[in-house]
């Protein structure tokens, strides 16, 4: 296999992750958001597997497996179950319209490319492109967290951000497995915490809207 093919494929899969990141931004229904997130995690798992293949790094297969099992199946499934179980509102509440959010997303991608490409001069082309894509995914995840009201979408934004981190990690040669493992487990713990958190909010307020939380903070009493 030629270097060019390796590079193009890695680039293609990375771009898929980014594309799903964009797709997360314009979903109107919670269920669609969760499905898109599952697709993104699947793409991430593919990216990890491809990197494992071309870098000859078998531990990356473990990363790919973790991403596939936990993030593509378990997390969306659990969140779906939570949404159904809690019977919460099924539509996404936006703080900023879809159009402007997409525009900002494009700007963010441009910014990360502008930043990463000059900064990483000297690294291999593969790593550079990969880093730029990963950073865009991270920024899009953050953007999602701040432009959506509902707690579930915030959790998904956080997980998408984390997907970006993994994407960056797998692209770099010699990243030890322990880093990815710890990131994956921290996400799992966060997921559990968020789950408990949802129950508690729901119990109190019959809603997952964050603005109910703002009135009970200690400093406002």
Two tokens at 149? 């009201």
Two tokens at 39? 């697709």
Q: Where are the alpha helices (DSSP H) in the chain?
A: 3-25, 30-55, 59-66, 75-86, 98-119, 125-147, 151-171, 177-205
Out of 3, 65, 95, 106, the only residue in the binding site for other proteins (CB under 8 A) is 95
Piece of the chain touching other proteins by CB under 8 A; list 47-55, 60-68, 110-118, 162-170: 110-118
How far, in Å, CA of 90 to CA of 88, rounded? 6
Question: In this structure, are residues 29 and 91 in contact, taking their beta carbons and an 8 Å threshold?
Answer: yes
Q: Does 98 sit near other proteins (CB under 8 A)? A: no
Q: How far is the CA of 91 from the CAs of 15, 28, 64, 150, in angstroms? A: 27, 6, 31, 9
Looking at beta carbons only, is 46 or 208 nearer to other proteins?
A: 208
Two tokens at 11? 């680039």
CB of 146 to other proteins, least distance (A): 5
Out of 69, 98, 111, 188, the only residue in the binding site for other proteins (CB under 8 A) is 111
- Residues in region 145-204 near other proteins by CB under 8 A: 145-146, 149
Out of 3, 5, 65, 115, the only residue in the binding site for other proteins (CB under 8 A) is 115
Piece of the chain touching other proteins by CB under 8 A; list 10-18, 72-80, 82-90, 107-115: 107-115
Two tokens at 184? 């994956």
Q: Does 217 sit near other proteins (CB under 8 A)? A: yes
For the chain, first and last CA: distance in Å? 65
Out of 69, 98, 142, 181, the only residue in the binding site for other proteins (CB under 8 A) is 142
Question: In this structure, are residues 135 and 112 in contact, taking their beta carbons and an 8 Å threshold?
Answer: yes
Q: Does 218 sit near other proteins (CB under 8 A)? A: no
Q: Using CB under 8 A as the criterion, which residues of the chain lie in contact with other proteins when the complex forms?
A: 95, 108, 111-112, 114-115, 118-119, 139, 142-143, 145-146, 149, 210-211, 213-214, 217, 219-220
């Amino acid at each position: 296999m030629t270097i060019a093919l390796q590079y193009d494929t890695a680039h293609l899969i990375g771009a898929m992750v980014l594309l799903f990141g964009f797709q997360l931004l314009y979903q109107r229904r919670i269920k669609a958001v969760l499905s898109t997130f599952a697709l993104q995690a699947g793409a991430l798992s593919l990216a990890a597997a491809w990197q494992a293949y071309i870098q000859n790094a078998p531990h990356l297969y473990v990363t790919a497996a973790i991403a596939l099992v936990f993030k593509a199946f378990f997390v969306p499934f659990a969140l779906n179950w939570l949404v159904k179980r809690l019977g919460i509102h099924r539509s996404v509440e936006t703080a900023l319209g879809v159009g402007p959010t997409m525009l900002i997303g494009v700007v963010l991608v441009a910014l990360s490319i502008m930043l990463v490409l000059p900064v990483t001069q000297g690294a291999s082309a593969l790593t550079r492109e990969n880093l730029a894509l990963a950073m865009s995914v991270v920024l899009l995840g953050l953007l999602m967290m701040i432009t959506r009201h509902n707690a579930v979408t915030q959790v998904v934004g956080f997980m998408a951000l984390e997907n970006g981190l993994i994407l960056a990690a797998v692209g770099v040669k010699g990243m030890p497995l322990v880093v990815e493992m710890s990131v994956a487990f921290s996400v799992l713990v966060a997921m559990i915490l968020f789950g408990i958190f949802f129950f508690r909010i729901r119990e109190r307020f019959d809603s997952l809207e964050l603005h109910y939380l703002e009135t009970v903070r200690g400093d406002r009493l």
